[in-house]
A and B are shown apart, each in its own frame.
Chain A
Amino acid sequence: MTLNIDIKEEQKKSQEQMAKQGLRVLVCAGTGCVANGSLNVIKKFEELGANVSTLTAHDKMTIVPTGCHGFCEQGVLVIIPDMHVTYVKVKETDVEEIYESHIKEGKPVERLLYTDPNTQQHVFKNEEINFYAKQTRTALANCGKINAECIEEAIAVRGYEALANAIKENNPDAVIDTIEKSGLRGRGGGGFPTGRKWRFTAANKGGKSYVVCNGDEGDPGAFMDRSIMEGDPHKLIEGMAIAAFAIGADEGYIYVRAEYPLAIKRLRKAIADAEAKNFLGKNIMGSDFSFDLHIKEGAGAFVCGEETALIASIEGERGMPRPKPPFPANKGLFGRPTLINNVETLANVPVIMLNGADWFAKMGTEASKGTKTFALTGDVNNTGLIEVPMGTTLREIVFDIGGGMRDGKKFKAVQIGGPSGGCLTEEHLDIPMDYDNLIKAGAMVGSGGLVVMSDKTCIVEVARFFMNFTQNESCGKCIPCREGTKNMLAILQKIVDGKGEMEDIETLETLAKNVKEGSLCGLGKTAPNPVLSTLKYFKDEYIAHIKDKNCPAGVCTSMTTYVIDEEKCKGCSKCARNCPVGAISGEIKHPYTIDQDKCIKCGVCVSNCPFKAIERK
């Protein structure tokens, strides 16, 4: 089809515009950095004016609020690409110094540079920060590099080029072929081949059909979809438009969690901007392809991440799953054929279309192609959002990108895939992480939440935590999930409370099997995974809780006692003054004692004692 827009020309214009901005100072304006005060940092920079030194090749500077860089813990992040520098933990009060010293005088502000946790050295160059150096960013490629609220900047980095090409060539089948050949699999958890899903839906072409983006990122501990929606919304929109063109849909929905207000705001603006440019709406770029895109806000229900429940929720009903078949590809939203893909999956689409299926398929492993984002959190030095080729080992992620364990703690396990996933232990540190290897190890990629746990984390408590979550979020439609998770939680609670019996382990295993096999949807089918995998690798910890009434990590309060060491106690009375229940008593300058009957094991005394005289047993 002939188009009334020359996208290459638009691209050139936008690039020229960007070149005129001079020195670009990128300030992260993702949820994390905004919480740390990035809006004030931006304001302060803007107040300083646009003058720069003659040392740089530019005549002025422009402050660019960007999406998430992934390194949230080090926020507010200020990056000046032309000076190859990243400043971390920047406060409003630091802005003037960065400006005066570095931008005007060419002298970097050392105290604001990233410090390598292992060498304790400042890192001067961006590309030498190990957190970034080992990543390969495709879905996140533009996150943090462009102004997330400016469509021109998205166009300058080849946004909407793949869509224009696809419409011009007018061969929807070829688009599906490319996605199929690339080997892209669903990034939301299931790992179903994306191309095949498109083909199934396209087979029902003819009447009304829909494209739905699943942005209901409910897994606690995962935030990649939020980062994409906030940081590069146009990539997602373009991915959806290409999908709609390929399967013959003319309407789409992005279902976003209500907990992500910034993502919703940026998507709304992005959709309006794309409509104004005629990249969305009627007769896109002058062709006969039309695609209307809407946003649906969720209202807080984890189960809505399940595709049939999500459809029910868009239709305005209780978000309860429906039996499959019929699959959404045949009978989905409002009874019409519907393609549902996750945010990260769709964000990969324009990149694949631009670079070709082979380019994508070269990354990753035999059956898992491309890259995957992981939300790295817990007891590691560098927490944040990362993107690595499929098949990267856990060791590389935790010890290279993550910078190793925090506070010298000992690595114990990684919980991957959230409440549907499982644990990986030391023995798994070197297996290539992809869909199939993780399933073999009893875990799953899931949405990509990676929580690193140390010997100070109680595994049984973690299993209880996830069961509590799934039990809360179980919609109640099918009995195995509704009653099964409740009973499993009761048993886990009993064990954590120090009242467990040995036969509980067997009951847990039987219940787990029944819930897994009998549940209607993915929530129930995967709910027992955290219990099963912790039982598999850490049975001794369960037994320690049950038989010895001992929590090896010292977390479960029912099994801990606090004791004051008479030798170390100087009788300063600080603990007694801070104890919320008045359980500590004594005489000044003599050792104090804790009344175990009154003690609620809150641990306040331990953190207050100046002499480290209180022990947790």
Chain B
Amino acid sequence: MDKTITSEVDFKAIDEILKSCDYKKSHLIAMLQKVQAIYRYLPEEAMTYIGEKVDGLSPATVFGVATFYAQFSLEPKGKYEIKVCDGTACHVRGSLPVLNAIKEKIKLEDGKFTTKDGLFTLEIVSCLGACGLAPVVVINEKVYPQMTPDAISVILDTLMKEEQ
């Protein structure tokens, strides 16, 4: 196994995570969640490391689990994670116009999820369980209820100004 270690990943921190999970393979999802909490994505080196360190796992199984669940990202995410709910209630009440307004506002290229400047990542999620407030947008854990294309533009404007 090629052990190219980049300076980016702090293996000590990952050791801590593995320790807190008792090096048990049944805690793999929790381990990956903790790694993602640090890096906002799953660096390949971290996944390989876990696969080699934990009994019963291989880098391939770790990669398999990481790609199965929607929560995990193999690419770095933007500073602001925008989640647009497209669950049934939000869909019926117009989540798509809101989604289009966001794409236009943050100037997202087709087929991409993160903006060039690394500021925004756009995600579509199925249901956030806030159906009474449809359509809903969540930006870094903060829930914005009853969105319209205009309302979300104002919110994004504010965020962009803060960043300038």
Cα–Cα distance between A449 and B91 once the two chains are bound (Å): 14
Decide yes or no whether A418 CB sits under 8 A from chain B: yes
Note all chain B residues with C-beta closer than 8 A to A603. Answer: 97
Q: Which of A75, A316, A602 contacts B29 (CB 8 A)?
A: A316
Decide yes or no whether B109 CB sits under 8 A from chain A: no
Decide yes or no whether B125 CB sits under 8 A from chain A: yes
- Whether A35 and B127, one on each chain, are in contact in the complex, defined by CB atoms closer than 8 angstroms, is no
- Whether B69 and A301, one on each chain, are in contact in the complex, defined by CB atoms closer than 8 angstroms, is yes
Given A220-B87, A220-B127, A602-B100: A453 in contact with B25 (beta carbons within 8 A): no
A476, closest chain B residue (CB): B68
- Whether A299 and B92, one on each chain, are in contact in the complex, defined by CB atoms closer than 8 angstroms, is no
Q: Which of A35, A223, A296, A314 contacts B143 (CB 8 A)?
A: A35
B42 to chain A, nearest CB (A): 11
A375, closest chain B residue (CB): B131
Most interface-central of A221, A226, A375, A378 (chain B CB within 10 A): A221
Convert A311-336 into 0s and 1s, putting 1 for each residue whose CB lies closer than 8 angstroms to a CB of B.
00111111110000000000000100
Note all chain A residues with C-beta closer than 8 A to B87. Answer: 220-221
B29, closest chain A residue (CB): A299
Chain A residues 375-420 with CB under 8 Å of chain B are 375, 377-379, 383-385, 415, 418
B64 to chain A, nearest CB (A): 6
A614 to chain B, nearest CB (A): 16
Q: Which of A219, A258, A453 contacts B92 (CB 8 A)?
A: A453
- Whether B133 and A299, one on each chain, are in contact in the complex, defined by CB atoms closer than 8 angstroms, is no
B31, closest chain A residue (CB): A316
- Whether A465 and B88, one on each chain, are in contact in the complex, defined by CB atoms closer than 8 angstroms, is yes
Decide yes or no whether A222 CB sits under 8 A from chain B: yes
Note all chain B residues with C-beta closer than 8 A to A379. Answer: 92
- Whether B28 and A316, one on each chain, are in contact in the complex, defined by CB atoms closer than 8 angstroms, is yes
B62, closest chain A residue (CB): A316
Given A35-B145, A220-B87: A377 in contact with B26 (beta carbons within 8 A): no
A326 to chain B, nearest CB (A): 19
A385, closest chain B residue (CB): B132
- Whether B129 and A299, one on each chain, are in contact in the complex, defined by CB atoms closer than 8 angstroms, is no
Decide yes or no whether B71 CB sits under 8 A from chain A: yes
- Whether B133 and A221, one on each chain, are in contact in the complex, defined by CB atoms closer than 8 angstroms, is no
- Whether A377 and B64, one on each chain, are in contact in the complex, defined by CB atoms closer than 8 angstroms, is no
- Whether B127 and A297, one on each chain, are in contact in the complex, defined by CB atoms closer than 8 angstroms, is no
Q: Which of A218, A377, A457 contacts B131 (CB 8 A)?
A: A377
- Whether B88 and A300, one on each chain, are in contact in the complex, defined by CB atoms closer than 8 angstroms, is no
- Whether B129 and A31, one on each chain, are in contact in the complex, defined by CB atoms closer than 8 angstroms, is yes
B145, closest chain A residue (CB): A35
Decide yes or no whether B41 CB sits under 8 A from chain A: no
Decide yes or no whether A73 CB sits under 8 A from chain B: yes
Convert A439-478 into 0s and 1s, putting 1 for each residue whose CB lies closer than 8 angstroms to a CB of B.
0000000000101010001000010011001000101000
Note all chain B residues with C-beta closer than 8 A to A71. Answer: 132
A314, closest chain B residue (CB): B26
- Whether A221 and B68, one on each chain, are in contact in the complex, defined by CB atoms closer than 8 angstroms, is no
Contact-size category for A: 35 or more
B77 to chain A, nearest CB (A): 14
Cα–Cα distance between A223 and B134 once the two chains are bound (Å): 13
A378, closest chain B residue (CB): B92
Chain B residues 107-164 with CB under 8 Å of chain A are 125-134, 136, 141-145, 149
- Whether A451 and B89, one on each chain, are in contact in the complex, defined by CB atoms closer than 8 angstroms, is yes
Given A313-B29, A318-B64: A383 in contact with B132 (beta carbons within 8 A): yes
Note all chain B residues with C-beta closer than 8 A to A221. Answer: 87-89, 127, 131
B5 to chain A, nearest CB (A): 25
Convert B1-44 into 0s and 1s, putting 1 for each residue whose CB lies closer than 8 angstroms to a CB of A.
00000000000000000000000111111101100000000000
Cα–Cα distance between A544 and B25 once the two chains are bound (Å): 54
- Whether A377 and B130, one on each chain, are in contact in the complex, defined by CB atoms closer than 8 angstroms, is no
Cα–Cα distance between A219 and B88 once the two chains are bound (Å): 9
Q: Which of B91, B127, B149 contacts A259 (CB 8 A)?
A: B127
Decide yes or no whether A580 CB sits under 8 A from chain B: yes
Chain A residues 570-617 with CB under 8 Å of chain B are 580, 602-604
Cα–Cα distance between A457 and B94 once the two chains are bound (Å): 11
Note all chain A residues with C-beta closer than 8 A to B32. Answer: 299
Decide yes or no whether A261 CB sits under 8 A from chain B: yes
Q: Which of A297, A301, A314, A378 contacts B89 (CB 8 A)?
A: A378
- Whether B128 and A259, one on each chain, are in contact in the complex, defined by CB atoms closer than 8 angstroms, is yes
A386 to chain B, nearest CB (A): 11
B26, closest chain A residue (CB): A316
- A binding-site residues for B, Cβ under 8 Å: 31-32, 34-36, 71-73, 75, 217-223, 226, 258-261, 296-302, 313-320, 334, 375, 377-379, 383-385, 415, 418, 449, 451, 453, 457, 462, 465-466, 469, 473, 475, 580, 602-604
Can you list 17 pairs linking A and B with CB atoms under 8 Å apart? Answer: A32-B145, A34-B143, A35-B143, A75-B133, A258-B33, A260-B129, A299-B32, A301-B70, A315-B26, A334-B26, A377-B92, A377-B131, A385-B132, A418-B88, A457-B92, A603-B97, A604-B149
Sample of 14 more A-B contacts, CB < 8 Å, known A72-B130, A378-B92: A71-B132, A72-B133, A221-B127, A222-B129, A223-B130, A259-B128, A261-B141, A299-B69, A378-B88, A378-B93, A383-B89, A385-B132, A453-B92, A602-B100
The 4 closest A-B pairs by CB, nearest first: A72-B132, A220-B87, A300-B70, A35-B143
